[in-house]
């Protein structure tokens, strides 16, 4: 067992419904694949380039090996892979990855949300829940997020959650078939103050129930 894993976080009420976060499950396969096949246009421009066509990489049978790989990283303390739910239903994923301990105690966060619930505060709530958890139970000191300059909704999510822009990484990540520039956003535990969730609630963007 590693600090902070496994854990269930939330719920937090936002405009789209009640947002919670729980470890990914093998039986997420059906929802995961159905939503991702439908949402190719919504997701593909922002995700790492993969081998083969979208419909193969996101078929029902491509979930079990991904689940196995993420679960084994989680067991080794290198990753915290979560499913986002809205009113109890699968609505996306949020992952804390590349967890480095010792004197760095740092990781990245990445997320996606089903097109059926976007613009309702879901991703912001999930980021707040997961980053608070990373800074408390999981014992991390810094969380980083890299985002394409064109990805206005994701930049809004990070800004609303309280992340600060640190710089521009040139031709940083192979996304949607080419090397893409990414802004680096980050936050340290000192900057999280009373917590991201507490700040969202104080700002009137979320409620505890």
Contact positions vs ligand ACO (CB under 6 A): 42-43, 46, 110-113, 118-124, 145, 147, 151-154, 156-157
Question: Could you tell me which of 113, 71, 84 has the C-alpha nearest to residue 21?
Answer: 84
Closest contact distance (angstroms) between CB of 74 and ligand ACO is 18
Smallest separation, CB 123 to ligand ACO (Å)? 3
Of the two residues 5 and 112, which places its CB atom closer to ligand ACO in the complex?
112
- Residue 126 or 138 having the CB closest to ligand ACO: 126
Residue 152 backbone class (left: φ over 0; alpha: ψ -120 to 50; beta: rest): alpha
SS3 113: strand
Asked whether the CA dihedral 183, 189, 24, 208 is positive or negative, the reply is negative
CA distance linking residue 128 with residue 200, whole number of Å: 8
Pairing status of strand 17-23 against strand 80-86: antiparallel
- Min dist. Cβ of residue 187 to ligand ACO (A): 12
Task: CB nearer to ligand ACO: give 118 or 189.
Answer: 118
Least distance from ligand ACO to the Cβ atom of residue 1, Å: 27
User: Which is nearer to ligand ACO, 124 or 192 (by Cβ)?
Assistant: 124
Nearer to ligand ACO, 75 or 191 (CB): 191
Give the three-state DSSP class for 154: helix
Which of residues 82 and 112 has its CB atom nearest to ligand ACO in the complex? 112
- CA–CA separation, 200 and 160 (whole Å): 8
Shortest distance in whole angstroms from residue 19 CB to ligand ACO? 9
Provide the minimum distance between the beta carbon of 116 and ligand ACO in the complex, in angstroms, as a whole number: 10
CB-CB neighbours of 66 under 10 Å: 17
Rounded Cα–Cα distance for residues 81 and 98 (Å): 11
């Amino acid at each position: 067992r590693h600090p902070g894993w496994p854990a269930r976080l939330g719920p937090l009420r936002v405009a789209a419904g009640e947002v919670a976060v729980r470890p990914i499950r093998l039986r997420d396969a059906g929802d995961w694949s159905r939503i991702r096949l439908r949402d190719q246009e919504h997701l593909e421009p922002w995700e790492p380039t993969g081998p083969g066509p979208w419909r193969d990489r996101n078929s029902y049978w491509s979930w079990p090996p991904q689940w196995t790989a993420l679960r084994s990283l989680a067991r080794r303390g290198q990753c915290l892979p979560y499913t986002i739910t809205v009113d109890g239903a699968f609505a996306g994923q949020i992952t804390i990855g590349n967890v480095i301990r010792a004197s760095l105690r740092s990781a990245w966060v990445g997320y996606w949300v089903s097109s059926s619930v976007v613009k309702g505060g879901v991703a912001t709530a999930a980021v707040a829940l997961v980053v608070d958890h990373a800074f408390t139970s999981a014992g991390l000191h810094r969380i980083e997020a890299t985002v394409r300059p064109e990805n206005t909704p994701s930049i809004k999510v990070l800004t609303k959650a309280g992340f600060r822009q640190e710089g521009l990484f040139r031709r940083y990540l192979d996304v949607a078939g080419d090397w893409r520039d990414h802004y680096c956003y980050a936050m340290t535990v000192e900057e999280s103050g009373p917590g991201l969730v507490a700040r969202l609630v104080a700002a009137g963007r979320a409620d505890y129930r």
